[in-house]
Amino acid sequence: MFRTVVDANETVKLLDVSARNSRAAARTLMRTLAIQLQRAAIKRSTGPKSAAAGAYPIPRRTGTHVRGFAMELSDRSAIVFNANIYARSLHDGFKPYGNPHARPIPARPYFDDAMEKDLDVDAALAAADKVLGEGA
């Protein structure tokens, strides 16, 4: 026969620490991924100033596009965005209408490429694991 004795008070203490640390770990995970994404998107948005129009990485001429990057964090989500009015046109491309002489803007998917190629999920998970381990 095998018998296990569990101390309820100790279990409650461990669960309380675990609950507090899991919230901090989730926030650390979201924050780490958001920072990585923002840095990678900025890197893909700072090509040489002398590059031709439509080049990718996006030529950095004035810095306005790069200054538009920001993020919002919560315990369960992270939002990385660019608040400039033309950010979506740079990302998705744009075909002008109403002006037959205007040149289309080619798509330069800096957010998509950053998500697919530059995120280090293992590093973000390691940072979250470290936070979880601090409460044990």
Residue 47 near residue 65 (C-beta atoms within 8 A)? no
**Cross-strand pairs, 94:** 105
**pLDDT for the residue 13:** 66
How many whole angstroms separate alpha carbon 130 and alpha carbon 28?
A: 10
User: Among residues 105, 116, 95, 126, which one has the least CA distance to residue 41?
Assistant: 116
pLDDT in tens, 106-115: 999 999 999 9
Query: What is the average per-residue pLDDT within 94-103?
Result: 87
User: 132 vs 27, 34, 63, 119, 122, CA distance in Å?
Assistant: 11, 19, 39, 21, 15
Residue 17 near residue 5 (C-beta atoms within 8 A)? no
Residue 71 near residue 78 (C-beta atoms within 8 A)? yes
pTM for this one?
A: 0.80
